[in-house]
């Protein structure tokens, strides 16, 4: 590409790209893509394929030297061999030492006792449990691995440890003892402390990094950022850029142009099929790894206020293949599905054209994971447009920044709504189609997880468009944010900014979406909406004893749900507090005693409450959520001139829902919500 030489920042053409993205009159592909005619051709060529397809057209997403040693053989095997377990234990014992004295103490505890006992956290039974939990609770949200050919014995040791760590952190406490779940979570944290360095010290991590390296780092980024300790969260924030640089230094973001193996060449006993299928798996897995990293980059910029380091036009890949293909276990099955898609005129959709179509409220054909990636793209656009607006306002007349697209926020809001309708419609269609016996790769459990994840992302997108987490935390009294001590000047500036925000249409929209999400997570009669794994009777949703286990919790399979609930709680508190001030009279029967009189643990623990207090808390929360949530249009909230700060019941329920989490940031979230209650006194 003559006009975009290597080494130039991926944001150097942002202005032209932004104009193309938001202008409905500019159709087709963005011009830098036209220089690469094969960028989108993952499955199909321009010619009608021969039977079983000419697979030379599959030429995207593969790091050339990564295939043979990073993808398991496409021959399904089961079990976790003892020799592999011994190999992992020796690796941990000899090379995992980072983290200081406290981590070494955990290591001593992990290796104490009978390691072969079924209840030991490093027994064969436990390791198999962690892998099963990974695929049951995490894989459907972040499908980086090819499950049909996943064989523990053939997976790189460090990648396998990343999988084990995530699985160990997601155990369901209703199925295992609290002590075992806690010990398993400690195992995951201990592994994470040294795993990153072990990966980066491996010779395969040099650019272009092999596939297992990228997969390991992507999985580790998720664990450290969203399910571990504060120090690991901070470390992941610092080092995530290195993972993205490794992807940029290879072909993960743009697709590989090397010629894949052909199945039409003479071969002995199906070796050509084996070679092609291995290549196909690696190509698609590499693409999914790139999309996963991009999604995390956009998601964490939205959730935490981290700086996004990727821009959407870096990714020149087709969207992920259909679930039916990704769940296929043989080359012939993949080929049959390809042939069927081709005969029906269905071709791969590029990520960029999918984003453009979504912004224009046009249907995009892709699977649930692909739709989540498209929402990641919308979140990324929103983040970068806010930054661009901030730069322009800061530089004022001196600014040489091009004009912002007119109505970009309204267009994004419309795109968010369209995306959710399209997502729900697609899931309903897939479910109906699967009922008649069609092979779609549909699994009810997986798509329920996708539906709840999509709901959380949808409300998060609307909320974050007008108010950011760092501002909410500063207003709530945070002393340190993103490693910086919050000064009085910072606090005063944020208070003034948020006071202006509370009177804007964006604030009312954020409040309405926050209330809707809080109703869904705290008050829904559907356990799955509240984070429950198993159906329960409708009567158990009554919160008389304060022990409702179906609120979002530590084992919630929808990973981002507790944080979005926390985000929503901060929004309704900030809106009410800024407009109506402290709550008078304060409902002491719901939340008695100031912070100095009683610890947060005592105030919000799941120790049984009296029936009267439990009912009072729920009634107070329901009263606010029902009254506010009944509005269909954000502008209707302008008619409400009082009672907007009656959120003590809501905040109390949110605090109790976050109790017992294994993610340290949610412990901090509970403390911050307690500070919000204190400010209402």
pLDDT tens per residue across span 140-158? 999 999 999 999 999 999 9
Give the number of other Cβ atoms within 10 Å of residue 48's Cβ.
9
Ramachandran angles phi, psi of 531, nearest 5° = 100, 0
Token pair in block for residue 468: 């950011």
CA atoms of 526 and 195, how far apart (whole Å): 39
Lowest mean pLDDT among 188-202, 387-401, 403-417, 452-466: 387-401
- Coil, strand or helix at 484: strand
Mean pLDDT of 159-164: 98
Q: Could you tell me which residues come within 8 angstroms of residue 135 by beta carbon, excluding any fewer than 6 positions away?
A: 147, 150
Q: How many CB atoms lie within 10 A of CB 634?
A: 17
Reply yes or no on whether the pLDDT at 600 is more than 60.
no
Contact 80, 124 (CB under 8 A): yes
pLDDT of residue 26: 61
At residue 660 the predicted structure's pLDDT band, cuts being 50, 70 and 90, is confident
Give, rounded to a whole angstrom, the gap between the first and last alpha carbons of the chain: 62
CA-derived radius of gyration, the chain: 25
Nearest to 667 by CA among 593, 611, 599: 599
Mean pLDDT of the chain: 81
| Residue 493, CA distances (Å) to 383, 417, 486 in order | 21, 32, 11
The pLDDT, as a whole number, for residue 57 is 32
Q: 373-382, 421-430, 539-548 — which is least confidently predicted?
A: 539-548
602 has pLDDT over 90: no
Sign of CA dihedral 549, 553, 556, 561: positive
Per-residue pLDDT, averaged over 435-451, amounts to 66
pLDDT bracket for residue 27 (50, 70, 90): low
- Report pLDDT for 14: 61
Range with the lowest mean pLDDT among 246-250, 369-373, 533-537? 533-537
Helix axes of 561-580 and 488-501: crossing angle, nearest 10 degrees: 80
Quickly list DSSP for 176-226.
Answer: S-HHHHHHHHHHHHHHHHHHHHHHHHSGGGSSSPPHHHHHHHHHHHHHHHH
Mean pLDDT for 619-632 is 90
Contacts of 255 (CB under 8 A, 6+ apart): 38, 39, 42, 59, 60, 61, 62, 287, 316, 317
C-alpha 87/C-alpha 505 separation (Å) is 59
Enumerate residues 6+ apart whose C-beta is below 8 A from 3. Answer: 32
Query: What are the C-alpha distances in Å from 275 to residues 65, 260, 329, 330?
Result: 14, 9, 14, 12
Q: What share of residues in the chain are helix, strand, coil (percent, to 5)?
A: 60, 0, 40
Among candidates 24, 52, 55, 57, which has minimal Cα distance to 38?
57
pLDDT bracket for residue 538 (50, 70, 90): very low
Distance CA 358, CA 363 (A): 7
Tens of pLDDT along 104-141?
Answer: 888 999 999 999 999 999 999 999 999 999 999 999 99
Which is higher by pLDDT, 523 or 512? 512
Which pLDDT score, from 0 to 100, does residue 168 have? 95
Count Cβ atoms within 10 A of the Cβ of residue 524 and give its class: 0-12 exposed, 13-18 middle, 19 or more buried: middle
Model confidence band, residue 249 (pLDDT cutoffs 50, 70, 90): very high
Residue 354 vs residue 556, higher pLDDT: 354
- In the prediction, which pLDDT does 608 show? 52
More confident residue, 78 or 385: 385
Q: What is the pLDDT of residues 256-312, one digit of tens each?
A: 756 555 555 444 445 667 788 999 999 999 999 999 999 999 999 999 999 999 999
- Count of CB atoms situated within 10 Å of the CB of 286: 31
> Which residue reads 């799955």 in tokens?
528
Question: What pLDDT does residue 123 have?
Answer: 95
Give 241-305 as a DSSP string: HHHHHHHHTTTTTT---SPPPPTTS--STTHHHHHHHHHHHHHHHHHHHHHHHHHHHHHHHHHH-
pLDDT higher than threshold 80 for residue 540: no
Give the ranges where 605-644 is alpha helix by DSSP (H). 611-629
How far apart, in whole angstroms, are the C-alpha atoms of residue 454 and residue 529?
Answer: 12
Of 25-34, 82-91, 174-183, 329-338, the poorest mean pLDDT is in 25-34
């Amino acid at each position: 590409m003559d006009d975009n030489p290597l080494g130039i920042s991926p944001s150097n053409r942002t202005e032209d790209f932004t104009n193309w993205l938001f202008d409905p009159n500019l159709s087709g592909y963005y011009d830098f893509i036209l220089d690469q005619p094969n960028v989108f051709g993952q499955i199909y060529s321009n010619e009608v394929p021969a039977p079983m397809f000419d697979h030379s057209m599959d030429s995207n997403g593969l790091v050339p030297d990564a295939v043979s040693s990073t993808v398991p053989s496409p021959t399904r095997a089961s079990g976790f061999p003892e020799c592999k377990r011994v190999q992992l234990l020796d690796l941990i014992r000899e090379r995992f030492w980072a983290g200081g004295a406290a981590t070494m103490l955990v290591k001593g505890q992990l290796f104490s006792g009978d390691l072969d006992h079924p209840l030991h956290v490093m027994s064969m039974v436990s390791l198999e449990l962690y892998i099963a939990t990974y695929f049951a609770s995490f894989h459907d949200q972040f499908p980086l691995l090819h499950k049909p050919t996943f064989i523990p014995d053939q997976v790189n040791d460090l990648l396998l440890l990343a999988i084990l760590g995530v699985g160990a952190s997601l155990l369901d406490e209703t199925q295992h003892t609290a002590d075992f779940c806690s010990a398993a979570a400690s195992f995951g944290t201990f592994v994470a402390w040294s795993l990153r360095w072990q990966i980066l010290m491996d010779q395969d991590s040099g650019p272009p990094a092999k596939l297992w390296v990228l997969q390991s780092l992507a999985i580790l980024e998720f664990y450290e950022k969203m399910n571990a300790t504060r120090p690991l969260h901070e470390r992941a924030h610092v080092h995530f850029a290195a993972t993205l640089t490794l992807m940029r230094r290879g072909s993960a973001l743009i697709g590989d142009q090397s010629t894949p193996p052909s199945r039409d060449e003479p071969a002995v006993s199906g070796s050509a099929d084996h070679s092609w299928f291995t290549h196909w798996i690696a190509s698609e897995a590499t693409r999914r790894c790139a999309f996963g990293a991009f999604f995390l980059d956009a998601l964490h910029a939205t959730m935490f206020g981290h700086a996004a380091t990727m821009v959407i036009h870096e990714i020149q890949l087709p969207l992920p293949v259909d679930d039916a293909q990704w769940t296929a276990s043989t080359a012939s099955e993949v080929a049959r599905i390809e042939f069927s898609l081709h005969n029906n005129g269905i071709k791969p959709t590029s990520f960029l054209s999918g984003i453009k179509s979504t912004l224009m409220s046009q249907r995009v054909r892709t699977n649930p994971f692909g739709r989540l990636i498209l929402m990641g793209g919308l979140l990324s656009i929103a983040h970068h447009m806010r930054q661009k607006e901030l730069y322009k306002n800061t530089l004022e007349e001196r600014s040489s920044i091009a004009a912002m697209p007119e109505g970009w926020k309204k267009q994004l809001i419309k795109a968010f709504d369209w995306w959710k309708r399209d997502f729900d419609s697609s899931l309903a269609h897939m479910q109906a189609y699967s009922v008649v016996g069609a092979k779609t790769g549909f699994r009810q459990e997986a798509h329920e997880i996708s539906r709840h994840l999509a709901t959380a992302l949808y409300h998060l997108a609307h909320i974050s468009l007008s108010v950011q987490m760092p501002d909410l935390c500063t207003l709530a009294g945070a002393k340190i944010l993103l490693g910086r001590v919050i000064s009085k000047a910072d606090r005063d500036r944020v208070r003034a900014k948020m006071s202006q925000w509370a009177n804007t249409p964006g604030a009312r929209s954020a409040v309405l979406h926050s209330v809707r999400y809080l109703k869904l997570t705290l008050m829904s009669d559907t356990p799955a909406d509240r984070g429950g794994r198993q159906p329960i009777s409708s009567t158990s949703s009554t919160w008389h004893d304060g022990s409702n286990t179906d609120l979002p919790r530590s084992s919630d399979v929808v990973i981002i749900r507790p944080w979005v609930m926390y985000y929503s709680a901060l929004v309704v508190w900030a809106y009410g507090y800024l407009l109506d001030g402290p709550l008078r009279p304060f409902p002491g029967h719901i939340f008695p005693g100031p912070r100095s009189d009683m610890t947060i643990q005592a105030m919000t623990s799941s120790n049984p409450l009296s029936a009267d207090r439990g009912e009072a808390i729920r009634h107070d929360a329901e009263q606010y959520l029902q009254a506010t949530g009944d509005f269909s249009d954000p502008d209707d909230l302008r008619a409400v001139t009082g009672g907007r700060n009656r959120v003590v019941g809501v905040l109390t329920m949110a605090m109790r829902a976050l109790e017992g989490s294994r993610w340290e940031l949610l412990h901090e979230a509970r403390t911050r919500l307690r500070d919000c209650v204190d400010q209402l006194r």
